Amino acid sequence: MSTSMSVRFLIRKERGDDQSEAPIYMRMTIAGERFELSTRRTVLPENWSAESGRVSGANSKAKSVNTYLDSLLSRAYSYQKQILNEGKEFTLAEFKSRWNGIPTEKPKMLMEVFEEHNQQMKALIGHEFSPLTFERYTTSKKHTHDFMKSKYKVDDIDIKKLNYEFIHNYEFWLKSVRKCDHNTTIKYLSNFRKIVNICIKSGWLDRDPFVGFKMTKREVERPFLTEDELNRIIEKKFTMLRMSQVRDIFVFCCYTGLAYADVKKLTTDEITIGIDGERWIWTNRQKTDTASRIPLLPPALEIIDRHKNDPQWLNQGRVLPVLSNQKMNSYLKEIADACDIKKKMTFHTARHTFATTVTLANDVPMETVSKLLGHRNLKTTQHYGKILDLKVSQDMGMLRAKFKKAKAAE
């Protein structure tokens, strides 16, 4: 697609007539096509410089005409920039429409649709969306803008220009420039696809640019702690108070399945008496806004009772003194080293440990674990079952014992 344009000024005189003033014309060439128009200015041929395309001399008339020609040149390049910034194809027909003031239908621009979606989402935070979801779409919009700026040198694009090539190039940019892994890339593309679907359903886009594009996530190993590793962390004595607090919060989540955002916002009001007369957590997951009802196991209760005199409990009603996610993960790396745990341990490891070592490995049914984790779909929980080698070993051990018993009876 051509984006270049050449502009020159020339005169037309009657053959052999050097005495009469000749009209000055402006000629623009776009993609090999010419557009020529009269400037409504004239000049004696002897005063015209064909090389510079301007009137020679420094008298007032020459300056006036040349200033006017400069304004026409500036106007031409201004229209060119305008068309390209809108993401439109730079054609002679489009240029002539702008030059002649012919109104064209205002295109629907991608970033405008994205921004309108994000503002509507922002207005519904706390009702239908969480702050984290809004933040994710804000980041997705920025990535989309940065990609267009990098690849196409534009700030926005007409949505009608979206095609498979755009999606393919966006995927490559996310992986190569932003250094996103495959699954993170698919998450950003899924956010972008929602914006595309809005355009399709609104009748602004005739064809889905995602047709034929694979959006499959790759299976990833979810690290979790074994019973021995979890006990090492529980029993470790730390001299630094902050390390001890971070350990307690992490272990608390190992026995409740709460994610970082949920334990950070957990208040004393959300600790209540359940149907069995024991203490439970009644909360809503910040990520999905789904209800979680979690009976508190003895190790979690011990940690709650140990922190009842913390300032956050007394002054803000917060159950535990949770630091920023970055600081929590930084301390967890030190805790892992101190406990001789070689796995890459982040705060989310606690949630995986609850799903595997604490519940599934102790014969808690998958459906119950899914409910405790606040999952909307059982398939999400089944990912944990696939990696639970310990459970496989236990089940096969029972089967092996049956075979041995049967053989002994023979």
DSSP track, 255-275: TT---HHHHHS-BGGGEEE-T
Q: Token pair for residue 112?
A: 């405008």
Mark out the alpha helices in 36-163 (DSSP H runs): 60-85, 92-99, 110-123, 131-152
What is the distance, to the nearest Å, from the Cα of residue 62 to the centroid of all Cα atoms in its chain?
57
pLDDT (0 to 100) of residue 48 = 93
Rounded to 5 degrees, φ, ψ at 311 are: -55, -40
**At a CB cut-off of 8 Å and minimum separation 6, what does 40 contact?**
23
Per-residue pLDDT of the chain (410 residues; tens, 9 = 90+): 567 899 999 998 875 556 788 999 999 999 888 989 999 999 999 999 999 999 999 899 999 999 999 999 999 999 999 888 877 788 888 888 888 887 666 788 999 999 999 999 999 987 888 787 899 999 999 999 999 999 999 999 999 899 999 999 999 999 999 999 999 999 999 999 999 999 999 988 889 999 999 998 887 777 889 999 999 999 999 999 999 999 999 999 999 999 898 899 899 899 999 889 999 998 877 666 667 889 999 999 999 999 888 777 767 788 898 899 899 999 999 999 999 999 889 998 999 899 888 988 888 888 888 888 877 776 666 666 555 566 667 677 778 888 888 878 87
What is the pLDDT, as a whole number, of residue 289? 63
Question: What fold characterizes domain 227-395?
Answer: hpI Integrase; Chain A (1.10.443)
Distance CA 214, CA 296 (A): 42
pLDDT score at 137: 96
Q: What is the pTM of this model?
A: 0.56
Integer CA distances (angstroms), 320 to 32, 233, 278, 328, in order: 71, 18, 20, 13
Number of other residues whose CB lies within 10 A of the CB of residue 312: 14
Alpha-carbon gap, residue 137 to 122, rounded angstroms: 10
Predicted local confidence at residue 222, as pLDDT:
74
Residue type (1 letter), 130: S
Would you list the domain boundaries of the chain?
5-99, 110-201, 227-395
